[in-house]
Amino acid sequence: MPTAEESRILALACGAPVFHLLRTAYGIDGTLVEVCHTVMAADSFVLSYTLPASRTATR
C-alpha cells in the first residue's frame, strides 16, 4: 500500500494500491550501470517484460 506522500503525489483514491518496481542493470562485465525505482498506481498499469537470454550467467 502507498505511503501518504505517494498517495498525494499520484492522486490516488483511498485504498488504491501501488507497484514498487526496482530494476537494476549490469554491464557485460558485471558492473552496476543503472538502478531505477518506480512507484506507480497498480490499477493503471500492466507490467510485461521480455528479457533476452544471456550466454554467460554473471549472477
Look at residue 22 in the predicted model and tell me its pLDDT.
92
Counts for the chain of helices (H) and strands (E), in that order: 1, 2
DSSP 10: H
Look at residue 18 in the predicted model and tell me its pLDDT.
96
Q: Where are the domains of the chain?
A: 4-41
Per-residue tens of pLDDT for the chain, all 59 residues: 999 999 999 999 988 999 999 989 999 898 999 999 999 999 998 988 887 766 655 55
